[in-house]
Amino acid sequence: MNRFMNFPMSHLRVKIHVVDCSTGYYVKEDCRYPAYTGKEPGDVEYILPIMTQPFDLKASSVPTWEEQIVFNKRFGYFIKQSNGGPDVLLFFELLGFVSAEKTRASVDADQHGEQPRTIAWAFLKILGTNGALNTDTKLYLQLYCPPPQAMRRKHLSVIEAPETIEVYEWWRFYPRNQYPSALHVTVKGVRPPEHLDLEAADRNPESIQWSRLPEQVCQIPNKPMLSFHGGQMGCFTVLFSHAGTMLAAACAGRGAYPVVVYEIPSGQLLAAFGGHFKVIYDLCWSSDDHRLLSASSDGTVKEWNVEKLRGPVQKVLSHPSFVYCAQYHPAAQNLVLSGSYDATVRVWRVDVDEVNGQLLLEFEGHSGFINTICFDVDGSRMFSADSTGLIIVWETYVHDDQHPCHLWNIERKIKKESLRGVPINMLQVHPNGCYLLIHAKDSVLRTMDLNVLLVKEYAGATNRRERIHSTFTPCGTFIFSGSEDGMAYVWNTDTGDMVAIYSDLWYTTAVHGVAFHPHENMVAFCAFGQPIHVYLYDPNVPQM
């Protein structure tokens, strides 16, 4: 935009609508080429709007987003009106917010009675009247004032489309009064590659230059970099690959829960693996990034071949109840460990011909459902935690390939009084192997010295109900955590001081997933019903 207005607004966002010009409704999913959010037969599905990240007007009076917004749909469907394709009209609605609190409240207009103010709007027909495509080039869109007599409609819910769309009615029925400003946008299609040459990347690791050097202390990411539409119901967890070239996301749609893989740093959609029909709680990359595990409340752990990017599921490990976690053994990548609702840790072989793998052993010891398992760096010890607050340390050294787990046993049970009866969401071993990060549902994060079992606490984030994740940075200097208040928090691991708060994620639900990049000063956040946000460190931007 090249000019701004004098309104008492603190933040601006742009809401992007994809509308069928011939009907005035949101464009329906292409039933002939369904997107990755597969739908149940008979459901009427629409491509719902997406909003940009907020622009803070305290930083500049000239809003500039420079943000990539991704609709994970087949681009050809939008540009061909033949064969029943839609006549696509894009609307850009400039929304002003008085404060972060009112922004969060405005999402539920029925409960809070507040909505953001529509400052201006613009439109773009992807296929022009002359048959030319308005794509692949920067376009200057005139902004228009909203009609003063137009009645404001309630916000679109997460899973339903309205009978009419307000901004479409402005375009269709009202005179257009120019607003003294413009919006610059570029619309383009991104084609997923047929094959991602991971072997070439392995042969030439210098092909991607990360800003953080090996062994260098991490910096706190402070600049929005990417934003993804993580499914109609958002995303539950995210995880960067070991090489840092991919980001896996456990997305949620109506009737489908795909694992979606994005290329990093471009944000390009690489693959979408469909097969789960309930929430995916955990993801795990193999050490070579060729395979990916997903653990779901549908009672299965699935293994996907990421090398091929497409194709059916590689392994399906069936359980008698919900599965909350699954991990590859660090020293034996043919072994998968899983934890589930029935308080059992299971060991599976996945280097077998059977699609269901081979169940080797079932370990008991927990009395509550197992939410998390993790290993130390060499896999000689595994840590598991459950809904009662119990942590078990297992000896998991792999002695031989024929009988890899026949000597595994419980090394110790850790019962902390402060954790008695408190469900533990997740565990993670510090990069130096000496500390264990414990994330429990009492709004307190803890690190425990694994030698003397002394505990340090970190307060500030809220977590009483949801399954929230936290993580060490690769250097171990910081702890990042989600929170039920829609924000993310950062602490110094050694001092316990809170050093940053991500208050401008603008999530209206709990921040469930947090993942830090293994080689770059980059972090990803996700939440149900919200987009996936990726932040990058920029030395020229003020700290959080």
Q: What is the pLDDT of residues 406-435, one digit of tens each?
A: 899 999 999 999 999 999 999 999 999 999
258 touches 310 (CB < 8 A): no
pLDDT at 349: 96
Report the distance separating Cα 299 and Cα 286, nearest Å. Answer: 21
Q: Are strands 498-502 and 291-296 parallel, antiparallel or unpaired?
A: unpaired
| Residue 80 pLDDT | 64
CA angle 102, 507, 540 (to 5 degrees): 95
Per-residue pLDDT, 312: 82
CB 86 within 8 A of CB 125: no
Q: What would the mean pLDDT of 491-499 be, rounded to a whole number?
A: 97
Q: Which of 328-332, 444-448, 528-532 shows the lowest mean pLDDT across its residues?
A: 528-532
Taking every pair of C-alpha atoms in the chain, what is the biggest distance, in angstroms?
A: 78
Our measurement of the distance from residue 413's CA atom to the centroid of its chain's CA atoms, rounded to an integer in Å, reads: 33
Q: How far does the chain reach from its first CA to its final CA, in angstroms?
A: 25
Range list of H helices, 113-178: 166-173
Over residues 300-323, the pLDDT tens digits come to 999 999 987 777 899 999 999 999
pLDDT digits 0-9 by tens, 457-468: 999 999 999 999
Q: Cβ neighbours of residue 423 under 8 Å, at least 6 residues apart?
A: 368, 371, 386, 387, 388, 389, 440, 441
Q: Supply the DSSP string of 383-408, one letter for each residue.
A: EEEETTS-EEEEE-----SSSTTTT-
The yes-or-no verdict on residue 214 having pLDDT over 80 is: yes
User: Domain locations in the chain?
Assistant: 9-99+114-187, 223-536
HSE of 211, CA atoms in CB hemisphere, 13 A: 13
* Across 227-249, average pLDDT: 91
- Tell me the pLDDT tens digit for each residue of 10-53: 788 898 999 988 888 888 765 554 444 333 333 446 787 888 87
Q: What 3-state class would DSSP assign to 189?
A: coil
Tell me, what's the pLDDT at 465? Answer: 94
Neighbours of 162 (CB within 10 A): 16
Check: CATH 2.130.10.10 for 223-536? yes
Tokens 């402060």 sit on residue: 418
Half-sphere exposure (CA, 13 Å, Cβ side) for 374? 22
∠ CA 515-157-512, rounded to 5°: 15
| Cα–Cα distance measured from residue 501 to residue 282, given in angstroms and rounded to the nearest whole number | 25
The torsion region of residue 101 among left (phi > 0), alpha (psi -120 to 50) and beta comes to alpha
Integer Cα distance of 112 and 130 in angstroms: 45
Distance CA 340, CA 46 (A): 35
Give the helix ranges, DSSP H, for 259-338.
none
**Of 77-91, 235-249, 329-343, where does mean pLDDT reach its minimum?**
77-91
What is the model's pLDDT at position 85? 67
DSSP labels, 404-472: TTTT-EEEEEE--GGGTTPPEEEEEE-TTSSEEEEEETTSEEEEEETTT--EEEEE----SSS---EEE
Q: What is the arrangement of strands in the sheet containing 424-429, beginning at the earlier edge strand?
A: 424-429, 435-440, 444-449, 455-459
Strand order in the sheet with 370-375: 370-375, 381-386, 391-395, 409-414
**Residue 66 pLDDT grade (very low, low, confident, very high; cuts 50, 70, 90):** confident
What pLDDT does residue 280 have? Answer: 96
Q: Cα–Cα distance between 98 and 40 in angstroms, integer?
A: 39
Q: What is the mean pLDDT of residues 276-283?
A: 94
Asked if the model's pLDDT at residue 144 lies above 80, the reply is yes
Q: What are the structure tokens assigned to 362, written together?
A: 């079932």
DSSP letter assigned to residue 171 = H
Identify the pLDDT of residue 115.
56
Question: What integer pLDDT is reported at residue 309 of this predicted model?
Answer: 76
Among 6, 1, 55, which Cα is nearest to 181's? 1
pLDDT score of 424: 98
3-state secondary structure 359-373: EEEEECCCCCCEEEE
Question: For position 154, what pLDDT does the model report?
Answer: 39
Distance CA 462, CA 442 (A): 8
Kindly indicate the confidence band of residue 190, based on its pLDDT and cuts at 50, 70 and 90: low
Calculate the average pLDDT of the chain: 84
Pairing verdict, β 223-228 and 69-70: parallel
C-alpha span between 99 and 459 (Å, rounded): 25
Q: What is the pLDDT of residue 28?
A: 79
Q: pLDDT, tens digit, for every residue of 348-362?
A: 999 999 999 999 999
Confidence of residue 83 (pLDDT cuts 50, 70, 90): low
CATH code 2.30.110 for 9-99+114-187: no
For residue 20, what are its two tokens? 């069928």
Question: Stretch 143-154: mean pLDDT, rounded?
Answer: 68
What is the Cα–Cα distance from 428 to 419, expressed in whole angstroms? Answer: 16
Query: CA torsion sign, 82 to 85 to 86 to 90?
Result: negative
pLDDT over 50 (residue 157): no
Angle at 367 between CA 364 and CA 371, to 5 degrees: 85
Helices (H) and strands (E) in the chain, counts: 5, 36
Whether the predicted model's global pTM rises above the 0.85 cut: no
Could you tell me which residue, 187 or 435, shows the higher pLDDT? 435
Higher pLDDT, 519 or 25: 519
Closest-CA residue to 228 (of 73, 69, 75, 18):
69
